[in-house]
Amino acid sequence: MTDKDYRKAYEVSEYAAQKMLFDEYINYVYAIVFSMLRSVAAREDIDECVSDTFADIYSGFNSNNRFDGDLKGFIATVARRNAANYYNRLSSKNRESSIDELNETDCRSDVPMESEKAELRRILIQKTLELGEPDSTIVFQKFFCGRNSKEIAKMLSMNPATVRMRCTRAIRRLKALLAEVGITEEDML
């Protein structure tokens, strides 16, 4: 979706344009927010950050701002900034670190491992998005957000048994997609 597509839809109906944008980018925003907040946030905090992100995205598009191109970069930037703000707020509540504690730990010792994990997460998210709808939503909600089949079924207006079956099939397809790029289950652990 481009800015022009969004603005055309917005001229017809603000609600329809926002719903279209939300439906297209919800998994993308969830993936970004979850990857940044999973170590410090509860599911409710992640959901709140995603909601705030979409509110900021909607308010970022007014008649004075013009952006010609794909919205994905703008949306990713808003999601990352919101997640970073939530991270800072939540991590400062959870633990106050002193300068001495920070000096005692060697922050650089895990840099190669962390960059490998980040690349693995990026590929996992990309391959999950390749599953298409509703499978990518089911996988994100189940494994990234920790929702059960009943909650996902309610969200997607589906039967819980259907969600479980689609999830099983989607995981099989995801494993095959990951195997194509040389990633095995052992790499994920």
CATH of domain 111-188: 1.10.10.10
Mean pLDDT of the chain: 78
Q: Do domains 3-96 and 111-188 have the same CATH topology?
A: no
Of 58-62, 95-99, 182-186, give the lowest mean pLDDT range.
95-99
Supply the pTM of this predicted model: 0.52
Predicted pLDDT of residue 99: 41
Q: Could you read off the pLDDT of 21-63 as tens digits, one per residue?
A: 888 888 888 888 888 888 888 888 888 898 888 888 887 765 4
Predicted pLDDT of residue 114: 61
Predicted pLDDT of residue 165: 92
Predicted pLDDT of residue 113: 56
77 versus 106: the higher-pLDDT residue is 77
Task: Give the residue extent of every domain in the chain.
Answer: 3-96, 111-188
Highest mean pLDDT of the ranges 9-13, 67-71, 92-96, 183-187: 9-13
Domain range 3-96, CATH class: mainly alpha
> With 50 as the cut, is the pLDDT of residue 85 above it?
yes
> How far apart are the C-alpha atoms of 143 and 146, rounded to whole Å?
5
Q: Could you read off the pLDDT of 59-83 as tens digits, one per residue?
A: 776 545 555 566 777 888 888 888 8
> With 50 as the cut, is the pLDDT of residue 4 above it?
yes
> With 50 as the cut, is the pLDDT of residue 121 above it?
yes
Taking residues 157-180, report their average pLDDT: 90
